[in-house]
């Protein structure tokens, strides 16, 4: 949405004189949290204007240029007045730059402060410069200045005071990366927001404005990398025909500090190189990948590296040749090391043989490899040991590989979270994992400290989010899906931020600064994930959704190609009880956790109720903390979840006055769908589990309107993302 | 983009008082030709305001409601001032309604004028009403009033005088229908603007704003029907699970006079009905379709009917059971007749046996069936006898079936016209076919007169356009693709309109009323199709594009599953010459035309040069009208076409001052791609045909930069729409 800078002044002039050249246009959500709408509070606006009398910027690197464009565009929208380039003679100027490129900043002697902030951190200071009051945005690098610029704009967007600024901020994690599971035909695996935003056919010559706005949005929340292609990889992306397209995207993203990564198909040396093997210890294979990496770097000099899914769900990998994951990862790592590239090797593996408990497999395979990986390898681990369920305990690998940097993989796209029709704010989910205590170095050894490197002194750190972005006009299908993109970026930057704080920022920038809107909607967002857990998988249930497309309930799924692709494998409901015994009497997956965790989770009485059926097979009459039987509690939770969606609808209805008609109706219609889907989950699951429990639905709860058979026969076709 | 009417006044008030609540936003083309931007010419604006002091509207039908909303929204944008509902006391009011619902209109005694305009025509008059000057928009039906409303808004958008209006307009063709080749998984066969705008998964509960804006755009150009699904049909659309979604779309479209049609899979009685046959003469099959039609009408009371592709390219049909196309069409026609439904039966057929000349097949199969179809059947015939080539002679069926209404099928999506990266304005192509003279009732028996029913007194008339619409933000992929959607609608309403006039309307509404912009861009548009013919298929060449995906040149395509899916089948290049002899010495396809046409096309000397190689196999040294040899002329045309794209780039560059940056750059980038593709076509075709002609590329023309082998080896992957 950025206009050419030089036209902006003319544009604003024409605009303000004619005033009315305005389409009566509702809002389609395209602008994300970067709306830059006019500040409605006049006092605040005047205060901002007084502190923004002009802009001083030296240097014209591509990154500083886009920072300046963003400021000029953003402030024009927020304040209704163009910000002019000026000199230092006036009070109230805004100064942008690094000590290296801006002498007045150098003279402020910020070296000590800046050193602590690393290559991407920034300072925003209210300062006296040459005897005049000024605001300074500075950093050790241009991209740090850009991050500071976005932060500064956010201060205005969220109506903060800017007269006494002393802000310093640096990312806690180095690689903050989106994973796009986008195929070259523009379908998106597990994508629910239309199709891929990468229009490969028109690249390299057509640079869609979306690419720029995508980079702007990412930079505004500190995301600094993007894996363009699906982990179920196609080797074609590594051909010159496609590398020239990758280069075009990398060029478009570079000013915004956004690096491009690709997925590597492990069998590429055979498929496209004509080799007889892809054995990672084969000399020809090593050479092939070294040459391929060199070729990629000739197109993209700052190419970030490879993300690899190997020996999992049918993907080729080193085990095809009797080699280990470390052998495979190291071979690729050597190929990109010279240019500073990294390899992100996914721990989400399961082989063709169904193990006794799929939850154990990643740990079983990777733990023994600790210490065997090259320094430029990150092992990328999903937040939980199964697969992005509404709730999982933290993955047992976190804390278990002190010599191997582990990268967190969250899923932003809502594969198991109602897809694009359910409003689910995921910061509480991410936070729950990050704040979980691994106990590996005693209490307080949180997952966050593993991932940010502070627990084991990792030299390389990273966090990945599987993107929920598509070519829907509003990017994420559900408007509130934008909040998940947003909170992923914010938490990758600073995992200590609260879910409430992040929601507050997002809501203010996306809708309004009115407290009567913010308070109830923020609360609704924070509650939404627990609501979803209740109507889908309460009490530690997991993986009971529809087969293959993962849409809607499917607790009855059984007798499929693999046992661990069924639901009955996970819930193990029987006339006696329900749940997966992962203690020593069962699969003993619990043994993969530190003793401190084992103690807590090992007994039903001490196990947090949200993980009860994850770790224990529990009798239907078992008394839970509420005093109810397990069966009654299960029913109550399903009903509560569905009822809470009804309350969400009311909450949203009450917010109508604060939202334009198009976005209001968008969310309203989706909440209605969500309520239908919540009831579908509730009724289908309660009726199904009742066939085992053989107990009545507790008094006071309405009876499902359909029979179990009706739900079992539901067979949705053409579910997106499948 | 329409806002809720009751909020508009408040909205405008807030807007005009705060003035600046304006996002700095570039233009993504979403608004099509319905931008309603502020009228820049102050004198004109004042004149409009003086003649629009208020709005008088009685009746509140859904259609009149959307007409009012459109007026209020449109005039607010155009004039910067809300139009208020008022009484008749003031001079300069605008009165909207039918004589039936509005007494002041009834008193104007317009019955004679209105009767001539039929159910959809309209009048716009400057009149004295109760002694005061007023503007009246009236019709026999609410939808006629809506069409008049859009026409009136166009007068302002295009800066016309509105003080002395006396406009009457009625459509020349009854059914003006878009065909969406959209699959239920949202891929679009031959779609180049992203994916389907029908988000089936979220229907029926989620009504995307796009559906409303789609209906508005269609209504504004008089399109009154839409076939939602691909002619290569999926029977699933006929299940209750999908019919409830179809109903939701029909309900959204109904106020705009837009009827819904579906494609019928001929084998549905077997696939979903459990019958053993789909034989159209079988009693059970007839009953099944009658019941199915009744079921559809229970969801959509004004369902338009079925479009059928049968016994063509693998689709099932009546010939599977030894029955004729008439048997199949009539069976379906009987099923929908009671409720006023129609059947559009496509004449684009070819069986598994390759005929001596595919161009002959439709005529051969359908001509003998003339008179055998029910009254509610239209036979839908492509404009030319092959398949939407850059240039074809008119289809020989036009004029050949006096007892069977023939519906024109144009292709708006650019399957063979450079897809979404080429700027090709298609009005000249459509007009060329419509104005072609069939000679069946003597000179002047144009195709247009066949299609509008005037030549053979058809009771039912129709024109179909295969839509170029997808979920790209600008709807059509290429911004200028919007002009093809626009011109299809305008020509379906009135085929006598000139290409220039239609382009002028579209350009004014889409860009600006500045003559210095309009003149060169209009000229560029009108030339663009001939330019494309020159760099793709000059002198009557056809069907020499890339295999299957139809992208890029492929004159070397041979040895495929079917001969008529190859290029060599059509161009028949040899060391002696080139071209398909369709005269009596060849396939004699020419015999399917009337004698008057045969005389003209039958000899190379009299055959229009644009059809020379369509009808004749011509020696390389044959002297064409320019005095050049055929070979030299062929080369000159290929080079001229490519050079003209370079000129288009210059023309566009000169228009920069009149277009916002985003749309300007969009077109600029695509023109660069088009130039590359034009050169690709030119070089590949000239080098390939040179292998037969064995003659040099004429002096003065630059040599191709690559060898023929290079072009033959090009193998684009993941081409859209395939």
**In this structure, what CATH number is given to the domain that contains residue B257?**
3.20.20.80
- Predicted local distance difference test score (pLDDT) of residue B353: 76
Show residues of chain B in contact with A194, CB under 8 Å. 194-195, 471
Determine which of A16, A21, A23 to mutate to test the interface with B (most B C-beta atoms within 10 Å).
A23
Q: What is the CATH number of the domain that holds A544?
A: 3.90.1330.10
- Sort strands B93-97 and A225-227 into parallel, antiparallel or unpaired: unpaired
CA distance A682 to A635: 8
Number of Cβ pairs closer than 8 Å across A and B? 156
Angstroms from A642 CA to nearest CA on chain B = 18
Token pair 């894996």: residue: A227
In a domain, B452, yes or no: yes
- Predicted local distance difference test score (pLDDT) of residue A87: 85
pLDDT one-digit tens code per residue, A195-239: 999 999 999 999 999 999 999 999 999 999 999 999 999 999 999
Show residues of chain A in contact with B201, CB under 8 Å. 716, 718-720
Do A361 and A442 belong to one domain? yes
Show residues of chain A in contact with B472, CB under 8 Å. 471
Helices and strands counted in chain A (H then E): 23, 15
Which parts of B115-217 are beta strand (E)?
122-129, 132-139, 166-169, 175-179
In a domain, B607, yes or no: no
Last residue of a domain, one of A169, A197, A213: A169
A446, A599 Cβ separation under 8 angstroms: no
With residue B530 as reference, give the H or E element that holds it: helix B515-536
In a domain, A275, yes or no: no
- Predicted local distance difference test score (pLDDT) of residue A1: 34
Do A216 and A303 belong to one domain? yes
pLDDT one-digit tens code per residue, B535-577: 999 999 999 999 999 999 999 999 998 999 999 999 999 999 9
In a domain, B356, yes or no: yes
Last residue of a domain, one of B169, B203, B230: B169
Vertex A384: Cα angle to A378 and A388 (nearest 5): 105
Do B417 and B501 belong to one domain? yes
Domain count, chain B: 3
Residue A712 exposed, middle or buried by CB count within 10 Å (0-12, 13-18, 19+): middle
**B415 counts as catalytic:** yes
- Predicted local distance difference test score (pLDDT) of residue B88: 84
Catalytic residue among B387, B409, B632, B644: B387
pLDDT one-digit tens code per residue, A675-688: 999 999 999 999 99
Give residue A24's pLDDT band: very low, low, confident or very high (50, 70, 90). Answer: very low
* Percentage above 70 pLDDT, chain A: 96
Do A79 and A213 belong to one domain? no
Do A162 and A41 belong to one domain? yes
pLDDT one-digit tens code per residue, A318-360: 999 999 999 999 999 999 999 999 999 999 987 777 778 999 9
Structure tokens at A149: 């610029």
Residue B4 has what DSSP assignment?
Answer: P
Nearest CA in chain B to A661: B3
- Predicted local distance difference test score (pLDDT) of residue B22: 38
Do A128 and A233 belong to one domain? no
ipTM: 0.95
**A632 counts as catalytic:** no
Mean pLDDT by 10 residues, chain B (722 residues): 40 36 64 97 96 93 97 96 88 96 94 96 96 96 98 98 98 98 98 98 98 98 98 97 98 98 98 97 98 98 98 93 98 98 94 83 97 98 98 98 98 98 98 98 98 98 98 97 98 98 98 98 98 98 97 97 94 98 98 97 97 98 98 98 98 97 97 98 98 98 97 96 93
Last residue of a domain, one of A136, A152, A169: A169
A184–B718: do the CB atoms touch at under 8 Å?
yes
With residue A226 as reference, give the H or E element that holds it: strand A225-227
Tell me which residue in B195, B201, B662 faces A209 most closely, judged by beta carbons: B662
In a domain, A691, yes or no: yes
- Predicted local distance difference test score (pLDDT) of residue B14: 36
**B313 counts as catalytic:** yes
Q: Got the DSSP string for B477-526?
A: SSTTHHHHHHHHHHHHH-TTS-HHHHHHHHHHHHT---HHHHHHHHHHHH
- Sort strands B342-346 and B377-382 into parallel, antiparallel or unpaired: parallel
- Predicted local distance difference test score (pLDDT) of residue B518: 98
In a domain, A591, yes or no: no
Do A68 and A106 belong to one domain? yes
Please provide the average confidence, as pLDDT, over all residues in chain A.
Answer: 95
CA distance A614 to B60: 59
Nearest alpha-carbon partner for B722 in B111, B191, B181, B49: B191
Give residue A515's pLDDT band: very low, low, confident or very high (50, 70, 90). Answer: very high
CA distance A373 to A174: 19
Q: What is the CATH number of the domain that holds A60?
A: 3.30.379.10
A473–B473: do the CB atoms touch at under 8 Å?
yes
- Predicted local distance difference test score (pLDDT) of residue B198: 98
A201–B8: do the CB atoms touch at under 8 Å?
no
Give residue A20's pLDDT band: very low, low, confident or very high (50, 70, 90). Answer: very low
Q: Average pLDDT of A74-81?
A: 95
B20–A25: do the CB atoms touch at under 8 Å?
no
- Predicted local distance difference test score (pLDDT) of residue A10: 39
In a domain, B604, yes or no: no
Nearest alpha-carbon partner for A423 in A515, A507, A540: A507
Do B482 and B562 belong to one domain? no
The length of chain A in residues reads 722
Do A89 and A179 belong to one domain? no
Q: Is B95 helix (H, G, I), strand (E, B) or coil?
A: strand
In a domain, A2, yes or no: no
pLDDT one-digit tens code per residue, A245-274: 999 999 999 999 999 999 999 999 999 999
Nearest alpha-carbon partner for A95 in A137, A47, A139, A153: A137
Across B435-444, b (16+ Cβ under 10 Å) vs e yields: ebbbbbeeee
Show residues of chain A in contact with B656, CB under 8 Å. none
Do A365 and A422 belong to one domain? yes
CA distance B102 to B90: 17
CA distance A123 to A125: 6
Handedness of CA B650, B652, B657, B660 (dihedral sign): negative
CA distance B490 to B426: 12
Q: Got the DSSP string for B375-410?
A: TTEEEEEESSSSSS-SS-PPPTTTTT-TTS-EEEEE
**Residues sharing a CB contact under 8 Å with residue B580, sequence separation 6 or more, in sequence order:** B357, B570, B571, B572, B586, B587, B613, B614, B615, B616, B617
- Predicted local distance difference test score (pLDDT) of residue B17: 32
Do B548 and B693 belong to one domain? yes
Nearest CA in chain B to A472: B471
Show residues of chain B in contact with A478, CB under 8 Å. none
Do A697 and A556 belong to one domain? yes
A38–B20: do the CB atoms touch at under 8 Å?
yes
pLDDT one-digit tens code per residue, B652-695: 999 999 999 999 999 999 999 999 999 999 999 999 999 999 99
A717–B672: do the CB atoms touch at under 8 Å?
no
Give the range of the structural domain holding residue A124, as residue numbers without chain letter.
Answer: 34-169
């Amino acid at each position: 949405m950025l206009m050419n800078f030089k036209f902006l002044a003319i544009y604003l002039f024409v605009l303000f004189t004619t005033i009315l050249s305005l389409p009566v246009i509702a809002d389609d959500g395209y602008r994300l949290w970067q709306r830059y709408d006019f500040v409605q509070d006049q006092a605040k606006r005047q205060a901002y204007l007084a502190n923004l009398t002009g802009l001083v910027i030296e240097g014209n690197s591509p990154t500083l240029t886009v920072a300046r464009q963003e400021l000029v565009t953003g402030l024009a929208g927020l304040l209704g007045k163009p910000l002019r380039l000026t000199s230092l003679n006036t009070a109230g100027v805004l100064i942008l730059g690094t000590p290296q490129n801006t002498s007045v900043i150098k003279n402020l002697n910020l070296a000590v402060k800046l050193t602590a902030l690393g290559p991407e951190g920034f300072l925003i200071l209210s300062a006296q410069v040459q005897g005049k009051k000024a605001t300074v945005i500075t950093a050790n690098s241009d991209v740090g200045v850009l991050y500071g610029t976005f932060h500064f704009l956010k201060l205005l967007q969220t109506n903060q005071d800017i007269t006494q600024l002393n802000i310093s901020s640096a990312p806690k994690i180095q690689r903050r990366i989106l994973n796009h599971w986008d195929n070259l035909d523009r379908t998106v695996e597990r994508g629910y927001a239309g199709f891929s935003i990468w229009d490969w056919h028109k690249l390299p010559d057509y640079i869609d404005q979306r690419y720029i706005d995508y980079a702007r949005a990412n930079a505004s929340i500190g995301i600094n990398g993007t894996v363009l292609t699906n982990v179920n990889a196609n080797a074609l992306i590594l051909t010159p025909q496609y590398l020239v397209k990758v280069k075009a995207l990398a060029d478009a993203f570079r000013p915004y500090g956004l690096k491009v990564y690709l997925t590597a198909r492990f069998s590429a040396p055979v498929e496209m190189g004509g080799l007889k093997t892809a054995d990672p210890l084969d000399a020809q294979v090593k050479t092939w990948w070294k040459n391929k990496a060199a070729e990629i770097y000739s197109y993209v000099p700052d190419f970030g590296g490879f993300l690899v899914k190997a020996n999992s769900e049918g993907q080729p990998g080193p085990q095809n040749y009797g080699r280990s994951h470390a052998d495979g990862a190291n071979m690729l790592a050597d190929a990109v090391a010279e240019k500073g590239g990294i390899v992100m090797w996914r721990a989400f593996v399961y082989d063709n043989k169904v193990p006794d408990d799929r939850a154990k497999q990643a740990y079983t395979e990777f733990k023994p490899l600790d210490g065997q990986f090259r320094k430029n390898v990150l092992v990328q681990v999903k937040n939980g040991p199964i697969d992005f369920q509404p709730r999982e305990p933290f993955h047992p690998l976190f804390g278990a590989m002190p010599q191997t940097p582990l990268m967190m993989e969250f899923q932003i796209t809502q594969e198991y979270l109602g897809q694009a029709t359910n409003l689910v704010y995921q910061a509480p989910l991410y936070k729950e994992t990050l704040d979980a205590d691994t106990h590996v170095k005693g209490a307080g050894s949180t997952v966050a400290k593993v991932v940010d490197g502070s627990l084991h002194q990792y030299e390389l750190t990273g966090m990945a989010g599987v993107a929920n972005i598509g070519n829907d006009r509003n990017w994420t299908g559900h408007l509130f899906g934008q909040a998940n993109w947003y909170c992923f970026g914010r938490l990758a930057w600073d995992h200590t931020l609260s879910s409430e704080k992040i929601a507050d920022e997002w809501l203010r920038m996306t809708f309004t600064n009115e407290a009567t809107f913010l308070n109830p909607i923020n609360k609704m967002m924070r509650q939404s994930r627990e609501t979803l857990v209740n109507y889908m998988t309460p009490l530690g249930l997991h993986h009971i959704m529809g087969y293959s497309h993962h849409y809607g309930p499917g607790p009855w799924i059984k007798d499929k190609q693999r046992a661990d692709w069924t639901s009955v494998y996970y819930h193990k409901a029987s006339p006696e009880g329900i749940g997966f015994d992962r203690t020593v009497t069962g699969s003993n997956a619990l043994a993969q956790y530190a003793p401190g965790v084992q103690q807590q989770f090992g007994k039903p009485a001490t196990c947090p109720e949200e993980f009860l059926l994850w770790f224990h097979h529990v009798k239907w009459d078992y008394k839970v903390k509420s005093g109810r039987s397990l069966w009654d509690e299960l029913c109550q939770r399903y009903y509560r979840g569905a009822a809470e969606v009804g309350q969400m609808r009311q909450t949203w209805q009450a917010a109508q006055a604060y939202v334009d008609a198009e976005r209001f109706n968008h969310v309203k219609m989706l909440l209605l769908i969500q309520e239908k889907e919540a009831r579908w989950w509730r009724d289908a699951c309660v009726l199904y589990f009742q066939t085992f429990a053989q107990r009545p639905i507790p008094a006071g709860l309405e009876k499902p309107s359909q029979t179990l058979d009706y739900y079992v026969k539901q067979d949705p076709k053409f579910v997106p993302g499948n």
